[in-house]
Amino acid sequence: MINIQNKGYHPTLLEISECIHNPVFSQFCNDIKDQYKCNEKIEFSSCTWEFGWNVKFRKSGKSLCTIYPREGYFTVLAVIGQKEKEAVENILNECTSKLRDIYHQTKTGNGQKWLMIDLEDKGKMYLDVLRLIEIRKRS
């Protein structure tokens, strides 16, 4: 298995998937690629906050989300900017209470909220994250 923090080895998406060891990761990536006709970009972050390899999805120069691998699950970074804020707040009551908590507890900086959302199954939270990404794409 790969070391997700080894900058000297550029992993493939399959290797990252094997490291996470959760089929929901591959499904999530496929859903993003199918929905937005984009490909992943695997990048290394030297940031002490999230050191290691991550997977980014962009469409038309706009960041859709960043995925941080974990053992057994993954974390999705969904950025909610000023353009997305109203649309996101309009659907929050339809989202899981956990996502609402994440949204309300995340501080706003430079007019953005950087939501870090853990996904480990294909439940309601999974669908909520896809809705956030759709709002981001449309704005």
pLDDT in tens, 81-114: 999 999 999 999 999 999 999 999 999 999 999 9
For residue 11, give both structure tokens: 């992993």
Task: Tell me 50's DSSP state.
Answer: S
Span 39-48, average pLDDT:
92
Q: Which domains does the chain have, with CATH numbers?
A: 13-138 (3.90.1150)
pTM of the model: 0.94
Residue 61 CA to residue 70 CA, distance in Å, equals 27
Residue 90 CA to residue 22 CA, distance in Å, equals 31
- Residue 61 backbone zone (phi > 0: left; psi -120 to 50: alpha; other: beta): left
- For helices 23-36 and 13-20, what crossing angle results, to 10°? 140
